Amino acid sequence: MTFRFEVLHRDAGTGARAGRMHTAHGTVDTPVFMPVGTQATVKAVGQDDLQALGAEILLGNTYHLMLRPGEALVQQLGGLHRFMAWPRAILTDSGGYQVYSLAQNRRITEEGATFQSHLDGSKHVLTPERAVAIQEALGSDILMALDECPPSRSERGYLEESLARTTRWLQRCARAWSRGPGALFGIAQGGLDPVLRRRHLEEVCAIDLPGYALGGYSVGERPEEMHASVAEVAPLMPADRPRYLMGVGTPVDLVNAVAAGIDMFDCVLPTRNARNGWLFTARGDVKIKNARHREDPGPLDPDCACYTCRNFSRAYLHHLHRTGEILGARLNTIHNLHYYLDLMRGLRGAIEAGELPAFRGHFRERRMIESQAG
Segment near a copy of itself (CB under 8 A); pick from 137-145, 232-240, 328-336, 362-370: 328-336
**Part in contact with a copy of itself (CB under 8 A); list of ranges 11-19, 77-85, 276-284, 352-360:** 77-85
44/214 with CB nearer a copy of itself: 44
* 273 Cα distance to chain centroid: 15
CA distances from 95 to 103, 148, 335, 352 (A): 10, 10, 28, 35
Q: Is 313 in the site for a copy of itself (CB under 8 A)?
A: yes
Stretch that binds a copy of itself, among 100-108, 152-160, 260-268, 294-302 (CB under 8 A): 294-302
Site for a copy of itself in 14-53 (CB under 8 A): 39-41, 43-48
**4-10 vs 17-23, strand pairing mode:** antiparallel
Contacting range for a copy of itself; rule: CB under 8 A; set: 82-90, 95-103, 130-138, 348-356: 82-90
* Residue 355, CA atoms < 13 Å, CB-side half-sphere: 10
Contact assessment for residue 315 and residue 295, using Cβ atoms and an 8 Å cutoff: yes
Neighbours of 330 (CB within 10 A): 20
- Sign (positive or negative) of CA dihedral 159, 162, 164, 170: negative
Residues in the interface with a copy of itself (CB under 8 A) total: 37
Q: Are 289 and 318 in contact (CB under 8 A)?
A: yes
Residue 123 three-state SS? strand
> Shortest approach of a copy of itself to residue 55 CB, angstroms?
15
d(CA 344, CA 339): 9
Which of 40, 248 has the CB closer to a copy of itself? 40
Among the residue ranges 75-83, 95-103, 213-221, 234-242, the one whose residues contact a copy of itself (CB under 8 A): 75-83
Q: How far is the CB of 77 from a copy of itself (least distance, A)?
A: 5
Could you say which residues in the range 105-134 bind a copy of itself, by CB under 8 A? none
Residue 324, CA atoms < 13 Å, CB-side half-sphere: 0
Task: State how beta strands 17-23 and 26-30 pair.
Answer: antiparallel
- 266: annotated active-site residue: yes
Q: How far is the CB of 291 from a copy of itself (least distance, A)?
A: 12
In terms of CB distance, is 238 or 302 closer to a copy of itself? Answer: 302
CB of 36 to a copy of itself, least distance (A): 13
Note whether 294 binds a copy of itself by CB under 8 A.
yes
Asked if residue 312 binds a copy of itself (CB under 8 A), the reply is yes
Q: Which residue stretches of the chain are H helix?
A: 47-53, 62-67, 71-76, 80-83, 96-101, 128-138, 156-176, 194-205, 223-233, 251-260, 269-275, 307-311, 314-322, 326-353, 356-373
Residues 6+ apart with CB under 8 A from 268: 36
Radius of gyration for the alpha carbons in the chain, expressed in angstroms and rounded: 20
Write down the catalytic residue from 49, 93, 141, 147.
93
Select 39 or 171, whichever has its Cβ closest to a copy of itself: 39
Smallest separation (angstroms) from a copy of itself to the CB of 266 = 18
Alpha carbon distance 326, 322 (integer Å): 11
State the nearest-atom distance from the C-beta of 56 to a copy of itself, in Å: 19
Residue 276 binds a copy of itself (CB under 8 A):
no
**Residue of the chain from 327, 353, 358, 369 that contacts a copy of itself (CB under 8 A):** 327
301 catalytic per annotation: no
CA torsion, ordered 207, 208, 210, 214, to nearest 10 deg: 30
Among all residues, which ones are annotated catalytic?
A: 93, 266
Q: Write out the residues near a copy of itself by the rule CB under 8 A.
A: 39-41, 43-48, 68-69, 73, 76-78, 83-85, 294-295, 297, 307, 311-313, 315-316, 319-320, 322-323, 325-327, 329-331
